[in-house]
Amino acid sequence: MKTQILTLLLCCLLVIAACGGSGVEQRDDPGQGFAEASARRVNVFSQINGQENPLLPGQPTQLRVGDSLRVDEGGYAILRFSDLVSVEILHQGNLQVRELSLDEQSPLVAFGQSAGIFANELKPSQNGATRRLEIQSDFATITATGTRFLLVRELDTPLEWLWAIEAAEDDLTVSAQGLTRTATSGVAYWIAPIGPPSQPIDFDPVQATAWIDALRAGNFQGEVGDVLWKAADTVLHTGEIVGDVAPGAVVTLGDISIALAAEGAVGPAAYTRSDCNGDSIPDLAMTDGRLLFDLRAVAGRVRAVDLTVTSADGVDADSLSVFNPAYEILDHSPVIVERRNDSVLSVRSWADRDEEPYHYAELRLADGCFLGISLTPPETDGTSGAPRPAISEALCTVSAAGLNLRRGPGVAFAPPIRLLRQGDKLIPLGRTADRGWLRVQAADDGSEGWVSANPQFVVCAVAVGTLPVLSAPPTSVRQDAPTPTFPRVNPTPAARIWETPRLLEPADGTIFDAGSSVTLSWSAFPAAARGRGSGVAHFLPGVDTNLRDDEYYQVKILFSPSIDAVWSDVHLVKENSFVVPAYLNSREMTWDQRYVWSVSVVQRPSVGEVRLLSPESESRVFYWHLRQAPAPIPTLAGPATATPPPSLVPTPTATSGPTATPTETNTPTLTDVATATATPTDISTATATPTDIPAATATPTDIPAATATPTDISTATATPTDISTATATPTEPPRPSPTPTPTPLP
């Protein structure tokens, strides 16, 4: 009995041993086909016969059909199929062997991939047989017959990428949604859950190799679509739309396809071409409209969408929606940038926050216009760019050397509010009925007024005829004939006459070192009454010698940064002293380093109006430079002849002269319009007599009549009233002779 039991146990052991030996031999049999898997780092797992185990470095294993290899974040493994194919698996890759046919006539390897990063190398056959590699990914089928390529599934985006590192013609294809595309060296495709593979994308194989090398070293550099593909950079306005605009139609705007939905939120949608913002570009106007933007054909990764729109009811965060590559809506509310004539809806996808790029967008407007789209690239440091309008705001630009901003549309509105310089930006607000004058707002300080619409002086990015017609304010009352004693004084009934200010410090010709402070001081008194003579106010009791609320000292400083220009810096102050701004000395004084200053008393009854209450004082000179002695330049001190009614900007001799009108703040902007070849400003005709741009050969500015010769403006050969000649040294200015009635000041 015992002998029978022992014999039975021995047989069982032999059977078990035979079965075990048979299994080992089966896995070692090359005819059955297998791949050798080896781990280069930890976080690698093999799944054999349904059982998953860690695969440690230095302990390779064999995978057959049905087995798989998984790599977690930070892991790295290599799978080799004989001398046929080697596959590197990185960064959360998962590969399953699906078919192995290693016969010499037509060897085939097929496996499935999902997630992760795979570097594949299919080696050519030594005997000329066609070797094939087929990969079934989540979204596509890739077929290779001898190539090196990357197959990458992005971690946070439903996108796969095929990057051909080395591939000849027909060596590598990708198929999805019934469409097959061929990839050659330096060509990539992305594949999404919906739609066919993308258009071919060119890339640098060297850059792709560097990217995969960094992954092999354990350094993840970001999503492949951000690292190896450039950012989208596109600006398009609606004038470039191609196709018929109608409900249900599809039009193109560059590489963007736009579907015009037939139905809106509450009913049928309506679309028309219309110039909604007056820039002469046909826009896309809609009523209860929806525009569906397909961005998939854009050459670049779209992480920023900026839409420029107008809306009768205003735009809100619900007006724009964005979608990922799987057409899933993203919770990205736009920033709304309001401009004067339109708005910009701006959304951003942040790569460093693992957010998805944009493949689709939708715009909804109940009553508004689509003006253009900008796909804005990031800044050079990688940060998201600021919202970028698709069209420039409808601005006008001063093209003349100087242009007067006036209270009304005409030269009768004097004095000007301020002098605009070449290049200044203006926001157009309206026009006169004859389109000759524009109502504008200066972009730098917000001051509003009128300028000539002559295209020689101002160029606008909007059709003037599309601006609204605005009425002009009443022309201010002027005193055309000045009194013999006080020329150009036009006080209100409540205004008072002032004596000519007397300059105190610094003395004429004082030299100051660069960097030192310069303080100007003077004294001024109101005249006690007409006919009682000047200089008596401060001796009479009961005479108020203080400035009233609307009275100011006007300090004017002239200086010449170059031989062909004289700049004017004008300030309205309440004290009888003034510290010269340091910025005047910080400029590069390439020609003349002298500063000519004078003082007058003015009244500012309202914004935009400055009235002279006293004659302008004598002019004094100081030098602000490093020289030890003043240069031998003629002194500009004191009037040499009888003082005619001065213009706002005297016409100078060929050497120098003042330029701009005073501004209306304590720190006005410098003007630099005095040049020997100054262009016209706001003249109505091109042949009029020179007016208020000082230059020896100044062209006309804003005098409407070609033959007009103003009596209160000096000619090109006349010496300005406040600048002396080199030999004149009068001690007292003589009384002026009566002057004919002047034409309106420009």
**CATH number for 187:** 2.60.120.1440
Whether 332 maps to a domain, the answer reads yes
| pLDDT of res. 607 | 58
Are 114 and 262 in the same domain? no
Residue 54 in this model has a pLDDT that exceeds 50: yes
Sorting pLDDT into bands at 50, 70 and 90, what band is 564?
low
Are 414 and 350 in the same domain? no
Average pLDDT over residues 601-625: 83
Whether 2 maps to a domain, the answer reads no
Residue 720 in this model has a pLDDT that exceeds 60: no
Instruction: Indicate which CATH number applies to the domain containing 342.
Output: 2.60.120
| pLDDT of res. 228 | 93
Backbone angle region of 556, left / alpha / beta, with phi > 0 → left and psi within -120 to 50 → alpha: beta
List, for residues 639-681, the tens digit of each pLDDT value: 333 333 333 333 333 333 333 333 333 333 333 433 333 343 4
Whether 713 maps to a domain, the answer reads no
Residue type, 17: A
Select the more confidently predicted residue: 415 or 729.
415
Residue type, 87: V
| pLDDT of res. 427 | 86
Average pLDDT over residues 371-378: 95
Whether 481 maps to a domain, the answer reads no
Q: Which residues, 6 or more positions from 59, have their beta carbon under 8 angstroms from its beta carbon?
A: 38, 39
| pLDDT of res. 412 | 83
Sorting pLDDT into bands at 50, 70 and 90, what band is 493?
very low
Sorting pLDDT into bands at 50, 70 and 90, what band is 508?
very high
Mean pLDDT of the chain: 77
Residue 46 in this model has a pLDDT that exceeds 70: yes
Residue 119 in this model has a pLDDT that exceeds 90: yes
List, for residues 202-245, the tens digit of each pLDDT value: 999 999 999 999 999 988 888 999 999 999 999 999 999 999 99
Residue 731 in this model has a pLDDT that exceeds 60: no
Sorting pLDDT into bands at 50, 70 and 90, what band is 623?
confident
Residue 633 in this model has a pLDDT that exceeds 50: no
Residue 42 in this model has a pLDDT that exceeds 50: yes
Strands 620-624 and 510-512: parallel
- The C-alpha R_g of the chain, in whole angstroms, comes to 41
How many folded domains does the chain comprise?
4
| pLDDT of res. 227 | 92
Select the more confidently predicted residue: 63 or 475.
63
Among 628, 648, 673, which residue terminates a domain?
A: 673
Give CA–CA dist 47/362, Å, rounded: 45
Percentage of the chain surpassing pLDDT 70?
A: 72
Among 673, 694, 715, which residue terminates a domain?
A: 673
Sorting pLDDT into bands at 50, 70 and 90, what band is 3?
low
| pLDDT of res. 494 | 58
Select the more confidently predicted residue: 670 or 323.
323
Dihedral pair phi/psi, residue 166, rounded to 5°: -135, 115
**DSSP 8-class letter at 485:** S
Are 570 and 521 in the same domain? yes
Minimum mean pLDDT range among 440-444, 497-501, 559-563, 626-630: 626-630
| pLDDT of res. 697 | 36
Q: In whole angstroms, how far apart are CA 443 and each of 85, 393, 561?
A: 66, 11, 26
Are 204 and 60 in the same domain? yes
Are 198 and 244 in the same domain? no
- Which residue bears the tokens 């797992």? 45
| pLDDT of res. 580 | 86
Whether 483 maps to a domain, the answer reads no
Are 63 and 176 in the same domain? yes
Sorting pLDDT into bands at 50, 70 and 90, what band is 308?
very high
Residue 469 in this model has a pLDDT that exceeds 50: yes
Whether 144 maps to a domain, the answer reads yes
Dihedral pair phi/psi, residue 421, rounded to 5°: -105, 165
Average pLDDT over residues 688-709: 38
Sorting pLDDT into bands at 50, 70 and 90, what band is 123?
confident
Among 652, 673, 694, which residue terminates a domain?
A: 673
Whether 712 maps to a domain, the answer reads no
| pLDDT of res. 219 | 87
| pLDDT of res. 583 | 67
Give the residue from 440, 438, 391, 375 showing the smallest Cα distance to 277: 391
| pLDDT of res. 27 | 45
Residue 570 in this model has a pLDDT that exceeds 50: yes
Q: Where are the beta strands (DSSP E) in 275-377?
A: 283-294, 304-311, 320-323, 335-338, 343-348, 360-375
| pLDDT of res. 341 | 79
Are 522 and 648 in the same domain? yes
Give the residue from 37, 116, 117, 24 showing the smallest Cα distance to 77: 37
Sorting pLDDT into bands at 50, 70 and 90, what band is 416?
confident
- Which residue bears the tokens 């040499």? 640
Dihedral pair phi/psi, residue 162, rounded to 5°: -115, 120
The whole-angstrom distance between residue 662's C-alpha and the CA centroid of its chain comes to 32
Are 189 and 238 in the same domain? no
Are 299 and 433 in the same domain? no
Average pLDDT over residues 375-393: 88
Highest mean pLDDT among 104-108, 469-473, 504-508: 504-508
| pLDDT of res. 544 | 67
Minimum mean pLDDT range among 154-163, 372-381, 409-418, 486-495: 486-495
CB-based burial label for 184 (10 Å; 0-12, 13-18, 19+): middle
Residue type, 569: D
Average pLDDT over residues 692-716: 38
Average pLDDT over residues 343-355: 92
The whole-angstrom distance between residue 154's C-alpha and the CA centroid of its chain comes to 32
Residue 17 in this model has a pLDDT that exceeds 60: no
Whether 682 maps to a domain, the answer reads no
Average pLDDT over residues 30-35: 67
Sorting pLDDT into bands at 50, 70 and 90, what band is 591?
low
**What are the structure tokens assigned to 37, written together?**
């898997």
Average pLDDT over residues 37-53: 92
Are 348 and 254 in the same domain? yes
Are 556 and 435 in the same domain? no
Are 419 and 342 in the same domain? no
Which structural domain range is residue 407 located in?
396-466
